[in-house]
Structure 1
């Protein structure tokens, strides 16, 4: 199985996912093996939601829409253009996946297979329904993948390299346990936004998507804002308002109530609007239903701080502030070449 065959298989997978990229699933005529897989994947989406209350249909559909848009022939070829592939000695790469948002480990999965390697997946217990089904679809559209994809719940054994994603605590364990293997070990990272007070209403509404999408559970969700001393929070809260129905989601509401009670009992100063709290705090990672804020004196000082703390940051959302900034509203729409932690996964896979 050569690279064009692998690319073609993932393009077909993207076409398959396009049927589930909107609330009303639409079965298309030209999709290979659709009679076998369309209804089955609808069932897996329902199972994922039943198993994990954070995986609402809306959030699963959002994730699938992103992947259907990414897995096009043009996008994949643009992504891979700069690399030189050598398929003479495929390795077995283990992936330990997180489970905070739907298909959060899918990029690693795609990267390993598109590079010509075999993959052994250890899934999170929170996200076990979707990926095995999509792997089976891949094997049908490209039989060359048969025998190259495996899933395990046991101790990882007989692998050549590993990609592991977890917390700072689990990362220390991973670094020790996998110290004899080529590895990418990902730790906690958070995303921030830099506001100047000159943002338009539309830009702040886009920022609300960066904050609330996936209930704020992703490392690409904005968990903290940096603001000038005289910042007017009224415009910020007004722009957040379209997300107010989120408080009707039981799991989110429980976290909101709990964190609010903790803040009040601790006599912390908070501002809140009934579904979001903001709290002045120097930390980057905020609890669910909370966004931290920190004042800055000058943009230059802030840029230096962000540079010094870059190992803690996944995304910086701003407009004409930093060189590597992400536009408002785009944190949850990464391109294939936007690597987690800025570690080039394909480059790693081509050197093991």
Structure 2
């Protein structure tokens, strides 16, 4: 199966997924294989929250929309042109996926198949319904994919290399079990925003998207702020007020109430607006409904700290010209070549 055919298959997938948008689901008769797959996809979108209460319809459709925007011929050719994929000898790649946000393992899935390898997928039970449908769609669009995609609920066996994503605790298990094989093992990471106090209201509103999308459960979700000493949080609270709709979701509210009670019983000092708590803390991973913050005195010292802690950070958000940063509101919109943990997955697969 040529690289051209793989690109064509994923381009058709992108066109199919474009029917599922946050502002509505609209069937396009020109989408390939709609007669077979539109209703099954539509049903899974509408039932997603039954299997995982965090997978709201809006968040699922956001994920579909994100991938539909990226999966086009131009992007796929730009991405793959940096590699020599035509000479790859297919190997079996085991991929162990997280399940914190919808389709969180899709990039690894796509990268393995685009590279020309075979994939053995072990999904999280928290996100187990979309990828098998996508795999079946690809097998119909490009029958050459048949036999190259398999799923398992058991321990992955008979593989040549592994890509595994999990927590710091599970990573120790992954290191033990997969350490002797070629591997990429990902651990906990969080995203942080660096504020100066000069941000516009629009900047801070966009920051709200980085904080609240997927209820803050993604590694690209902002969980911590670095702010100059004396920073006034009132502007931030005002700008993110439109995100108060998170209070419509019981799972979020339960976490908010629980964490607030814990903090108050521990006599921590909090800033809060009724749906988000701000707590001064040196850690990067904040609980749901909580945003940690830390003061800085000068940008040079802050830059040194961020460099020292880079293994804990997925994205840096802000507008500093001195640091590599993601724009406000863009953390959940990476390109195909924006690899998790800055580890080039495609090069890893190319070099096997």
Asked if TM exceeds 0.5, the reply is yes
2:58 paired residue number: 58
Compute the displacement of 1:322 (Å).
3.7
SS at match of 2:226: strand
Give the whole-Å Cα distance in 1 for the aligned partners of 2:318 and 2:88: 44
Moved more, 218-227 or 76-85: 76-85
Contact 1:3 1:116 in 2 (8 A): yes
Q: Which residue of 1 aligns with 2:273?
A: 273
- C-alpha contact (below 8 Å) 2:3/2:86 kept by paired residues: no
Question: Any stretches of 5+ residues in structure 2 without a counterpart?
Answer: none
Counterpart of 1:145 in structure 2 is: 145
Counterpart residue number, 1:69: 69
Secondary structure at the counterpart of residue 43 of structure 2: helix
User: TM-score normalized by structure 2?
Assistant: 0.99
Task: Report the CA distance shift for 1:297/1:27 in structure 2 as closer, same or farther (over 3 A).
Answer: same
Q: What aligned pairs does 1:41-120 form with structure 2 within 5 A after superposition?
A: 41-87=41-87, 89-120=89-120
Secondary structure of the residue aligned to 2:164 is strand
Asked if 1 retains the 8 angstrom alpha-carbon contact of 2:303 and 2:323, the reply is no
Counterpart CA distance in 2 for 1:175 and 1:13 is 34
Match for residue 169 of structure 1? Answer: 169
| Equivalent residues of 2:2, 2:86 under 8 A apart | no
Q: For the Cα contact (< 8 Å) 1:93–1:112, is it kept in 2? A: yes
Cα deviation, 1:84-130, whole Å, max 9, x if unaligned, reads 11345200101000000000000000000000000000000000010
Contact 1:45 1:129 in 2 (8 A): no
Report the equivalent of 1:228: 228
TM-score, normalised with respect to structure 1: 0.99
Distance 1:144 1:47 in 2: 31
Partner of 1:291: 291
Residue in structure 1 matched with residue 202 of structure 2 by the alignment: 202
* Structure 1, gaps ≥5 residues long: none
Change (3 A) 1:88 1:213: closer
Partner residue, 1:313 = 313
Tell me, yes or no, if the aligned pair for 2:93 and 2:117 is still in contact at 8 Å: yes
- What does residue 211 of structure 2 align with? 211
Tell me, in whole angstroms, the C-alpha distance in 2 between the residues paired with 1:43 and 1:33: 16
User: Is the CA contact 1:21–1:68 (under 8 Å) kept in the aligned structure 2?
Assistant: no
1:115 and 1:88 mapped to 2: Cα distance?
A: 7
Structure 2 counterpart SS, 1:126:
helix
Q: Any idea what SS the aligned residue of 2:315 has?
A: strand
Q: Distance in 1 between matches of 2:72 and 2:229?
A: 45
| Structure 1 SS opposite 2:24 | coil
Secondary structure, aligned partner of 2:19: helix
Aligned residues: 352
Q: Give how far 1:324 is off.
A: 1.4
Separation in structure 1 between the aligned mates of residue 187 and residue 33 of structure 2, nearest angstrom:
38
Q: Deviations over 1:124-178 (max 9, x none)?
A: 0000010000100000000010000000001111011100000001001101100
Residue equivalent to 1:341: 341
Q: How does 1:318-329 map to 2 (within 5 A)?
A: 318-329=318-329
CA RMSD of aligned residues (A): 0.8
**Kept after mapping to 2: 8 A contact 1:99/1:124:** yes
Tell me if structure 1 keeps the 8 A contact 2:88–2:115: no
